[in-house]
Amino acid sequence: MRRSAVRDLLIGAVVLAALVLLPVLWPSKALIDFVIRGAALALFATSLNLLVGYGGLVSFGHGMFFGVGAYSFGLLMQRTGMPIPVAFVVTIVVTAAVALLVGAICVRLKEIYFAFLTLAFQMFLHSLIILWVPLTGGDQGLLGGIPRPPFFGIDLGDQRQLYIAACVLLVAGLLLMRHIVESPFGFTLRMIRDNAARTGFLGVEIFRIKLVAFVLAGVFAGIGGVIMSLFVSGAYPEFAYWTMSGEGIFMIMLGGITTFLGPTIGTVILLLLNDFVTRFTEHHGLMLGAIILLFALGLRRGITDFLVDHWRRTRTPAATRRGH
């Protein structure tokens, strides 16, 4: 195993332990709710960054997989009564299949054409959810709550246990995605982003790499959707609406594209902003817009990118002096 992978695993374990201990040290139901939502959206934002940051594929339709994840999991639990782990695996398969279908058509295109085609598929899925009332409940969403039968002694109906499950999924998901971007596959993806033609000349099958990245990103977004559906005990068409994809882009913009944890930090910032701003003013749209504008104009590439740049700049002279 690579040394960096061992380091990542260790960091993951420490973070997970810290997250699990957090509610013991600071018992607050609001904190638990916040982290569960954060886990769902951080997985979603980071998976979108696999495409945007690492693949140069700016998808405007990523919310569709968040929606597919939430709806397939919710429907499986409501209609089939299968155990949660089985429904979870089936949901991953369903999301992957949808991503494969959509990706096979979309990733052939570049830039704005790719962005708009993903948006079109998303709107198609959203319309399907709205119109297929007998299955999806239409605009009212999946009604009646999602049943959460206990499995292996775990009861996700208990918010504390759901919290731990969400933390485990978050950390495992982030570790897997980290592994993906640090693998040769991840470097090939970055190479395609930087110069697709040259990569093609090296014998890399660009279409295949892009498609695999698209499917992987879709699956992780779907897992985010599963967590969210458990949190709200339902699934709603808004999950698959373009505003969801827009929020993902915001999170990435706030947090930073080139740093792996940027989207996660962006998620935390956006959630905090949203929760606090809506508490104090009804003009939250204006406030959020202004803050995002400040980020876009002032930091340009999100907060972590800004900090990392700054850190590197202050370190470089010292490094040079040591003879690099």
Partner 1 sequence: MTGNRKSRLDRRTLLKGTSAAAIGIIGAPLIARGQAKPIKIGMPTILSGRVAQLGASSRNGVMLEVEKVNAAGGLAGRPIEMVIRDSKGAPQEAARVARELVNSDGCEILIDAEASSGAFAVHEVARDLKVLCLHTNSETSSLTADPKLRIPNAFRVARQGIHDSIVGGGYAAKIAEAKKLTKWMTCSPDYAYGRDTTAQFIEYLKHFKKDIEVVGEAWPKLFQPDYTEVVTKILQTKPQAMYSCLWGGDLTSFIDQGNIYALFTQIETFAVNMADYTALTVVKNLPKGIHSGNRYIKTFPKTAANAAWGDAYRAKYKEYPTNWAWQNATVIQFLAAAAKKVNSADGAKLAEALRGLTIESPFGTDGKLTLRAEDQTLVGYAIGWGTTIPAEPYVPETTAGDWKQITELEAEWKKKNNYT
User: Which residues are near partner 1 by CB under 8 A?
Assistant: 28-30, 33, 37, 130-131, 133, 137-141, 143-145, 157, 159, 228, 231-234, 236-239, 243, 275, 278-279, 282, 284-285
Report in angstroms how near the CB of residue 79 gets to partner 1 at its nearest: 13
Report in angstroms how near the CB of residue 323 gets to partner 1 at its nearest: 54
99 versus 162: smaller Cβ distance to partner 1: 162
Report in angstroms how near the CB of residue 51 gets to partner 1 at its nearest: 23
190 versus 284: smaller Cβ distance to partner 1: 284
Q: Which residues, at least 6 apart from 116, have a Cβ–Cβ distance to it below 8 Å?
A: 60
58 versus 130: smaller Cβ distance to partner 1: 130
Q: Which residues, at least 6 apart from 218, have a Cβ–Cβ distance to it below 8 Å?
A: 47, 62, 65, 68, 95, 96, 98, 99, 102, 103
Nearest to 77 by CA among 155, 128, 149: 149
Report in angstroms how near the CB of residue 41 gets to partner 1 at its nearest: 10
Report in angstroms how near the CB of residue 266 gets to partner 1 at its nearest: 18
89 versus 135: smaller Cβ distance to partner 1: 135
- Here the contacts of 93-98 (C-beta below 8 Å, separation 24 or greater) are 94/68, 94/222, 95/65, 95/68, 95/69, 95/218, 95/219, 95/221, 95/222, 95/225, 96/215, 96/218, 96/219, 96/222, 98/64, 98/65, 98/68, 98/218
Nearest to 8 by CA among 260, 218, 231, 241: 260
6 versus 133: smaller Cβ distance to partner 1: 133
Burial of 4 (0-12, 13-18, 19+ CB in 10 A): exposed
182 versus 238: smaller Cβ distance to partner 1: 238
28 versus 183: smaller Cβ distance to partner 1: 28
Report in angstroms how near the CB of residue 47 gets to partner 1 at its nearest: 18
Contact predicate 257/305, CB 8 Å: yes
Report in angstroms how near the CB of residue 72 gets to partner 1 at its nearest: 17
Q: Which residues of 35-61 are buried (b: 16+ CB within 10 A; e: fewer)?
A: bbbbbbbbbbbbbbbbbbbbbbbbbbb
Whose structure tokens read 């706030």? 254
Contact predicate 192/56, CB 8 Å: yes
Report in angstroms how near the CB of residue 30 gets to partner 1 at its nearest: 4
24 versus 143: smaller Cβ distance to partner 1: 143
